[in-house]
């Protein structure tokens, strides 16, 4: 039988190895974890030790039944991967970058401007322009493009 853990991870909007935080039904963070081919890999909160729980574990069952939830975390590319950022002072509404270990990448990430797709970056750019125009007293939708 083929291993289905990649499909399970995709069900939750994650990829194998992508870290996330598990939240229980009273909104308390339980632990950091990731899906692996063996099941759910959990990381101890204090020392970061990894413990892999089997696919049949109570944790996976509680995720699938909604008792536990996965906290949404912003996407962050690995070094060398491509990301897109919104542009507002150009007819082109996004720019493509390669993630490096520089401070500028950290600033872009912390401001919520690191996007996985050009469409996401363009949507943010348009929203930024709309907010700026409203704050400046423009009463129409012109200037979006």
Chain centroid offset of residue 4 CA: 22
**Quick one: pLDDT at residue 115?**
93
pTM: 0.60
Q: How many CA atoms lie within 13 A of 64 on its CB side?
A: 14
From 71, 90, 117, give the residue that closes a domain.
71
What range defines the domain where residue 87 resides? 82-135
Structurally, the chain folds into a number of domains equal to 2
From 71, 91, 111, give the residue that closes a domain.
71
- Same domain, yes or no: 15 and 55: yes
List per-residue pLDDT tens for the chain, 145 residues long. Answer: 799 999 999 999 898 988 888 888 776 767 788 888 888 887 765 555 555 554 446 888 888 898 888 987 788 898 999 999 999 987 889 999 999 988 899 999 999 999 999 999 999 999 999 999 999 999 765 555 4
Instruction: Please name the residue ranges forming H helices in the chain.
Output: 5-11, 58-65, 103-110, 118-135
Residue 134: both structure tokens together: 């409203």
- For CA atoms 110, 111, 112, 114, give the dihedral sign: negative
Q: Would you say residue 140 lies in a domain?
A: no
- Same domain, yes or no: 37 and 91: no
- Same domain, yes or no: 21 and 49: yes
**Quick one: pLDDT at residue 71?**
86
């Amino acid at each position: 039988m083929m291993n289905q853990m990649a499909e399970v991870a995709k069900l939750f909007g994650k990829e194998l190895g992508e870290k996330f935080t598990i939240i229980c039904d009273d909104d308390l963070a339980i632990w950091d974890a990731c899906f692996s081919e063996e099941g759910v890999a959990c990381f101890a909160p204090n020392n970061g030790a990894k413990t892999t729980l089997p696919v049949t574990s109570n944790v996976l069952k509680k995720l699938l039944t909604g008792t536990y939830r996965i906290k949404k975390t912003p996407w962050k590319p690995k070094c060398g991967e491509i990301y897109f950022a919104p542009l507002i002072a150009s007819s082109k509404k996004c720019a493509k970058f390669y993630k490096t270990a520089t401070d500028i990448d950290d600033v872009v990430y912390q401001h919520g401007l690191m996007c996985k797709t050009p469409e996401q970056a363009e949507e943010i750019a348009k929203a930024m322009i709309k907010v700026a125009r409203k704050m400046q007293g423009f009463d129409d939708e012109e200037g979006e493009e």
